[in-house]
């Protein structure tokens, strides 16, 4: 039988008073570690295209002859091209259905089956995923027969009665170019590939693994909200309970790199009477003397959280967290109660590998950025961990649908909730955008229903996730309701290669001219009067490629242009900016670093302007 990999996991489910295994790099695409075993199911799978969508009708899950093989993780596009002999042209149009299958041996499990079970997790897969084990359909822990979404993980608990010594796992993946689905910058029926719109990249895009989990446990989801003035941390935990009864949640905070788990910096027990099901629970821990997390000093601490049964058995998870506070107050953004200028860069990872994204993050830090705007993409959550470690603020965004309808808004909300639930651990994530440049909200200026949805989601995020700033629609067409901006930041996308025109646009922006500055009016809805009561962010600018992209003649000219444009930003009461962009991607040839190696094509520190901003009057 196959053995479970240990890596940064102990030999079995966690127990009190046991020493954890020595840590190595996290092999799984998630932020929260479970101290148990796992077995990656990555590698070669059987593969078939279901061009006539006959697999469900013909019961392929009960048995099918697969003509091809595919490497998981990978994309539908790559696997179709390989199956077709790498023919030129698009691999699919309108819709695609594919099937994957593999066998695995039942792993040896040290734990008692009365306490534990096997769990199957997909790091990300989609857009529409169905899974069968030995021909029997599975439901996710949330009860979904069909999982929707392609950016976040989802899990299945495997019934012992359906497990054999050798097991057959079958996966059906379907996707369409439906403009009402969250697509980000992948092409659709509305936006076709070319220019700023990219080829589709969907399917089996992240790892899949088996692991031993306790029947009664804390799930690998931890939200963190800190009150830095009082050194309090609120942890939002998700509990999965099969056996109702009396439990205790024990929270312990340690130094991030300590090997000693016997003397925590802080500890507290919380007795609970729990019914069967899945539950959310908020708990508060005081961490006296804790240092704050910031880009300059990214201090982190280790949370060890245990769900302890009445008999003393403990199910344990661990994660790193930081204490930090982000606010939009007046014309500045405040981090830990101190004003901070956001030296940002737009980042579109596209089909970059995890290793390439690691190099990108280090390079963006070398450029002098303290902020990275991850542009409408769902990325490997280990990159969030790296940003926490490096001290990079992250501005993340919901991959947008491409049309504005009641259904697209429903899909948008579901995608937002999936993303934020699995990313609220990280001190680096400070800003969320709901939409960008009206993509998926094209009628924002004329449809009260679209604006009402955005207002409601803004209010929801304020209440449910107060650790983030929220932007309603980045770039222009921000929503005003009763004269109140429903965005924590007033952002504008300003593009021009002419320095004189640049000065004019910035002057109009800081002067409160909401029309004629960006491509469309900056605010829609009820009248809004800008009087420096909200931070201004130029959230896209530059785009300076070389001559074939309408930019400077050479690298030196581009460097000098960026310096001059950046100085004009700092000469005005602007709270931050986001240069466009980090890497070349498909038709966009305006990157500052190599997409493969991360090597910079401009001097280090070019985007670092963090010195006191000149005052230009009140």
The tens digit of pLDDT for each residue in 522-552 reads 999 999 999 999 999 999 999 999 887 788 8
Strand 154-158 with 116-122, pairing: antiparallel
Is a pLDDT exceeding 90 seen at residue 425? Answer: yes
Listed in order, strand segments (DSSP E) in 518-608 are: 523-525, 536-542, 576-580
List the 338-340 sheet strands across, edge first.
326-329, 332-335, 338-340
Token pair for 12: 């079995």
Quick one: three-class SS letters along 121-164? Answer: EECCCECEEEEEECCEECCCCCCCCCEECCCCCEEEEECHHHCC
Would you state the pLDDT for residue 19?
A: 34
Would you state the pLDDT for residue 571?
A: 97
Give the pLDDT mean for 428-448.
98
Would you state the pLDDT for residue 18?
A: 38
Nearest CA among 252, 348, 257, 263 for reference residue 308: 252
Across 8-17, 82-91, 305-314, least confident range: 8-17
Q: List b or e across 278-312, with b for residues whose CB sees 16 or more CB atoms inside 10 angstroms.
A: eeeeebebebeebebbbbeebbbbbbbbbbbbeee
Query: For 18, which DSSP code?
Result: P
Would you state the pLDDT for residue 108?
A: 79
- Structure confidence by residue, pLDDT tens digits, 95-131: 999 999 999 999 877 555 688 999 999 999 999 999 9
Is a pLDDT exceeding 80 seen at residue 61? Answer: yes
The position carrying tokens 């693994």 is 209
Q: In the structure, what pLDDT confidence band is assigned to residue 233 with cuts at 50, 70 and 90?
A: very high
Across 6-15, 82-91, 191-200, 264-273, least confident range: 6-15
Would you state the pLDDT for residue 8?
A: 34
Q: Cα(187)–Cα(91) distance, rounded to whole angstroms?
A: 13
Vertex 594, ends 592 and 596: CA angle to 5°?
150
Residues 6+ apart with CB under 8 A from 182: 149, 151, 398, 399, 400, 401, 411, 412, 415, 440
Q: Measured in whole angstroms, how far is the alpha carbon of residue 304 from the centre of its chain? A: 23
Give the pLDDT mean for 593-615.
86
Would you state the pLDDT for residue 21?
A: 32
Would you state the pLDDT for residue 113?
A: 67
Query: For 194, which DSSP code?
Result: B
Q: Cα(506)–Cα(491) distance, rounded to whole angstroms?
A: 12
Give the pLDDT mean for 475-483.
97
Would you state the pLDDT for residue 1?
A: 47
Query: For 588, which DSSP code?
Result: B
SS3 category, 559: helix
Total-model pTM: 0.94
Across 87-101, 449-463, 471-485, 499-513, least confident range: 87-101
Would you state the pLDDT for residue 31?
A: 81
For the chain, state the CA radius of gyration.
25
Would you state the pLDDT for residue 327?
A: 98
Q: Cα(475)–Cα(468) distance, rounded to whole angstroms?
A: 19
Would you state the pLDDT for residue 288?
A: 94
Percentage of the chain surpassing pLDDT 70?
A: 94
Residues 6+ apart with CB under 8 A from 334: 325, 326, 327, 328, 340
Is a pLDDT exceeding 90 seen at residue 403? Answer: yes
Strand 128-133 with 166-176, pairing: antiparallel
Is a pLDDT exceeding 60 seen at residue 222? Answer: yes
Tell me if 74 sits within 8 A of 145, measured CB to CB: no
Q: Cα(364)–Cα(600) distance, rounded to whole angstroms?
A: 9
Would you state the pLDDT for residue 22?
A: 34
Is a pLDDT exceeding 50 seen at residue 500? Answer: yes
Residues 6+ apart with CB under 8 A from 79: 47, 68, 70, 71, 98, 203, 204
Is a pLDDT exceeding 80 seen at residue 23? Answer: no
Would you state the pLDDT for residue 15?
A: 36
Would you state the pLDDT for residue 17?
A: 35
Would you state the pLDDT for residue 104?
A: 97
Length, in residues, of the chain = 618
Q: In the structure, what pLDDT confidence band is assigned to residue 25 with cuts at 50, 70 and 90?
A: low
Give the pLDDT mean for 320-344.
97
Nearest CA among 399, 424, 473, 442 for reference residue 150: 399
| Average per-residue pLDDT for the chain | 92
The position carrying tokens 């024990």 is 250
Q: In the structure, what pLDDT confidence band is assigned to residue 3 with cuts at 50, 70 and 90?
A: low
Nearest CA among 48, 52, 45, 37 for reference residue 7: 37
Instruction: Tell me the CA end-to-end span of the chain in Å, nearest whole number.
Output: 72
CB atoms within 10 A of CB 411: 21
Would you state the pLDDT for residue 261?
A: 80
Task: Give me the torsion for CA of 45, 48, 49, 51, rounded to 10°.
Answer: -160
Would you state the pLDDT for residue 30?
A: 85
Is a pLDDT exceeding 90 seen at residue 441? Answer: yes
Q: In the structure, what pLDDT confidence band is assigned to residue 212 with cuts at 50, 70 and 90?
A: very high
| Percent helix, strand and coil across the chain, each to the nearest 5 | 15, 35, 50
Query: For 346, which DSSP code?
Result: E
Q: List b or e across 344-364, with b for residues whose CB sees 16 or more CB atoms inside 10 angstroms.
A: bbbbbbbebebebbbbbbebb
Is a pLDDT exceeding 70 seen at residue 210? Answer: yes
117 sits in which H/E element:
strand 116-122
- Structure confidence by residue, pLDDT tens digits, 290-301: 999 999 999 999
Q: In the structure, what pLDDT confidence band is assigned to residue 34 with cuts at 50, 70 and 90?
A: confident
Is a pLDDT exceeding 80 seen at residue 330? Answer: yes
Largest CA distance in the chain: 75
């Amino acid at each position: 039988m196959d053995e479970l990999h240990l890596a940064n996991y102990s030999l079995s489910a966690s127990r009190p008073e046991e020493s954890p295994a020595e840590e190595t790099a996290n092999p799984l695409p998630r932020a929260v570690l479970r101290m148990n075993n796992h077995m990656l199911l990555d590698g070669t799978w059987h593969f078939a295209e279901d061009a006539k969508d006959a697999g469900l009708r013909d019961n392929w899950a009960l048995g099918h002859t697969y003509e091809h093989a595919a490497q998981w993780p990978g994309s539908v596009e790559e696997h179709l091209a390989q199956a077709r002999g790498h023919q030129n042209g698009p691999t699919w149009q309108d819709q695609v259905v594919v099937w994957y299958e593999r066998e695995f041996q039942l792993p040896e499990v040290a734990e008692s089956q009365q306490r534990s079970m096997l769990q199957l997790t997909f790091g990300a897969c989609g857009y529409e995923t169905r899974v069968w084990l030995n021909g029997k359909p599975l439901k996710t822990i949330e009860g979904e027969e069909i999982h929707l979404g392609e950016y976040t993980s989802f899990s299945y608990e495997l019934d012992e009665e359906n497990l054999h010594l050798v097991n057959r796992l079958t996966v059906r993946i379907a996707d369409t170019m439906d403009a009402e689905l969250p697509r980000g910058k992948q092409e659709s029926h509305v936006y076709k590939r070319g220019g700023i719109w990219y080829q589709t990249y969907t399917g089996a895009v992240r790892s899949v693994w088996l692991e031993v989990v306790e029947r009664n446990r804390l799930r690998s989801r931890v939200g963190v909200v800190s009150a830095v003035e009082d050194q309090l941390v609120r942890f939002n935990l998700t509990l999965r309970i099969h056996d109702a009864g009396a439990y205790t949640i024990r929270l312990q905070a340690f130094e991030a790199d300590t090997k000693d788990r016997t003397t925590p910096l802080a500890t507290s027990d919380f007795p609970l009477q729990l019914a069967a099901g899945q539950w959310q629970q908020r708990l508060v821990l005081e961490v006296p003397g804790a240092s704050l997390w910031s880009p300059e000093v990214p201090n982190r601490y280790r949370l060890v959280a245990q769900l302890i049964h009445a008999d003393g058995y403990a199910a344990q998870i661990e994660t790193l967290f930081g204490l930090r506070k982000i606010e939009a107050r007046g014309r500045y953004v405040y981090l830990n109660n101190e004003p901070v200028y956001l030296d940002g860069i737009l980042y579109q990872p596209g089909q970059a590998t995890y290793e390439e994204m690691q190099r990108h993050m280090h390079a963006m830090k070398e450029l002098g950025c303290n902020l990275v705007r991850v542009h409408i993409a769902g990325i490997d959550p280990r990159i969030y961990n790296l940003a926490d470690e490096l001290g990079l603020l992250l501005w993340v965004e919901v991959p947008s649908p491409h049309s504005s309808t009641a259904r697209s808004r429903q899909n948008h909300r579901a995608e937002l909730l999936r993303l934020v639930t699995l990313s609220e651990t990280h001190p680096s994530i400070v800003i969320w955008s709901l939409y960008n440049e009206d993509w998926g909200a094209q009628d924002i200026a004329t449809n009260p229903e679209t604006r009402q949805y955005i207002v409601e989601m803004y209010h929801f995020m304020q209440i449910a996730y107060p650790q983030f700033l929220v932007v309603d629609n980045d770039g222009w067409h921000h929503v005003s309701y009763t004269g109140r901006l429903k965005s924590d930041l007033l952002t504008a996308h300003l593009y021009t290669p002419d320095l004189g025109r640049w000065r004019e646009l910035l002057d109009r922006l800081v002067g409160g001219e909401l029309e004629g500055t960006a491509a469309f009016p900056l605010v829609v809805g009820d009248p809004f009067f800008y009087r420096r009561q909200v931070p201004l962010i130029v959230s896209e600018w530059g785009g300076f490629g070389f001559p074939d992209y309408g930019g400077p003649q050479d690298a030196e000219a581009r460097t000098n242009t960026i310096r001059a444009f950046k100085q004009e930003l700092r000469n005005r009461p602007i709270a931050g900016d986001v240069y466009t962009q980090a890497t070349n991607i498909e038709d966009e040839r305006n990157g500052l670093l190599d997409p493969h190696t991360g090597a910079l094509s401009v001097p280090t520190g070019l985007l670092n302007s963090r010195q006191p901003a000149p005052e230009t009057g009140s």
